[in-house]
Amino acid sequence: MSKITVIGSFVMDLIGIVNEFPLAGQTVIGKSMKTFHGGKGANQAVSAARLGGKVSMVGMVGNDDYGNTFKFLLKKENIDMSCVLTSQIEPTGVGLIQVNRLGENKIVVIPGANYEYSINDLEAVKEQIKKSGIVITQLELKHEVTFRLINLCDELNVPIIVNPAPAIKIQEEYYSKITYLTPNETELGILSGISIKNMEDVKRAIKELLNRGVKNVVVTLGSKGAIIGTQGGFQYVEGFKVNVVDTVGAGDAFNGALAYGIANKNKKLLEVVKHANAVGALSVTKRGAIPSLPTKEQVSCFVNYHKKLTTT
Ligand code: RIB
């Protein structure tokens, strides 16, 4: 099993549980409020670590209670936190989240210390990146840092997963340096410039990204599963039927599992995505991002249970 380096965000999620999302200008009375550790970077690191991955995290927290608890909790998950810096200027990032009765979410991230992390800080962890079997990143650090990271991985010949969330348009020159690009359908639409209404649009958009030079495109389709696109064609992975409680962090559960599977070099991408799909599905059955991430044992129980259902 090779080393996984996650370069990304720490965000403390303040989650309001509501029946319906308020409309613009409307006030609604919520049901309850929860505070959970999150942030796409931290979520993906914990997802990979709970499955048994050897994970190092790179990023920045604030010099405050939220930051201290992140350091403590992720160390407890066996994640190497020696490359996590502490900002003396900005507080730990915060997420203002609403989850409705269907488990859908709306998220505003206030980046705080995540946006203090600089290109110079990244250059200082070059050796760490060099030793990685796979690097995974998202778009919750400053974009200039992410783009430098893509170039750095290319220079060092280290494969990189880019989870383009929250999505922005990425300049043409970076696509050929991305080993795995993992948008959801909305993000796929933003990146490709193609409006996604059905599976044909999904395939057209994937082809567009492959033509720009991405090696592997893996699109998460929510309850519908996932689709892999490479120069060799498409492979579809079916979704699981589960009781959806809270979708916060489901994409991160999937992406962390993808990094874990890729770090385990003996597996084919299709097998890796099937496993990641189960991890993502299981995560929506519980509240919160990090608290909802399953362990290796929970995933194998879940997969076996569903196998039995489909064979009886
Ligand atoms: O992907 C879910 C995550 O997005 C949340 O944990 C929130 O912090 C935002 O970063």
pLDDT tens column, 276-307 = 999 999 999 999 999 999 999 999 999 998 87
What does the pLDDT read at residue 235?
A: 98
Residue of 109, 186, 246, 254 to mutate, ligand 1, most atoms within 8 A of C-beta: 109
Per-domain residue ranges of the chain: 4-20+30-311
To test the ligand 1 pocket, which listed residue (70, 107, 246) has its Cβ within 8 A of the most ligand atoms?
107
Nearest-CA residue for ligand 1 atom 8 is 39
Residue 269: name the closest of 223, 206, 221, 226 by CA: 226
252 tagged catalytic:
yes
Question: What is the position in ligand 1's atom list of the atom closest to the CA of 12?
Answer: 8
- Structure confidence at residue 1 (pLDDT): 82
Residue 87 CA, ligand 1 centroid: distance in Å: 20
Phi and psi dihedrals of 41, rounded to 5? -65, -55
Q: Which residues on neighbouring strands pair with residue 268, listed in sequence order?
A: none
Ligand 1, atom 2: closest residue by C-alpha: 249
Average per-residue pLDDT in the chain?
96
Q: Ligand 1, residues 140, 248, 279, 287: which to mutate, most atoms within 8 A of Cβ?
A: 248
| C-alpha 179 – ligand 1 centre gap (Å) | 23
Residue 167 structure tokens: 């999505």
Which stretches does DSSP call E strand in 102-214?
105-110, 134-137, 160-162, 180-181
Atom of ligand 1 nearest to the CA of 251: 1
Residue 310 confidence (pLDDT) = 65
What are the backbone dihedrals phi and psi of residue 261, each rounded to the nearest 5 degrees, phi first? -65, -40
- In this prediction, residue 159 carries a pLDDT of 98
Start-to-end CA span in the chain (Å): 35
Q: Which residues of the chain have pLDDT under 50?
A: none
Cα 231 to averaged position of ligand 1 atoms, centre (Å): 31
pLDDT digits (tens, 9 = 90+) for 68-91: 999 999 999 999 999 999 999 999
Q: Are strands 93-99 and 11-17 parallel, antiparallel or unpaired?
A: parallel
Checking DSSP bridges between strand 3-7 and strand 11-17, what pairing results, if any?
unpaired
- Crossing angle for the helix pair 296-311 and 269-283, to the nearest 10 degrees: 100
Note the pLDDT of residue 184.
98
Three-state secondary structure call for residue 194? coil
Q: How far is the CA of 95 from the centre of ligand 1 (A)?
A: 7
Q: What's the confidence (pLDDT) of residue 104?
A: 93
What is the topology classification, in CATH, of domain 4-20+30-311?
UDP-N-acetylmuramoyl-L-alanine:D-glutamate ligase (3.40.1190)
In the structure encoding, which two tokens stand for residue 232, read together?
């060799």
Q: What is the pTM of this model?
A: 0.96
Q: What is the pLDDT of residues 33-49, one digit of tens each?
A: 999 999 999 999 999 99
As for ligand 1, residues whose beta carbon falls within 6 Å of it are 9, 11, 13, 38-40, 43, 95, 107, 109, 140, 248-249, 251-252, 289
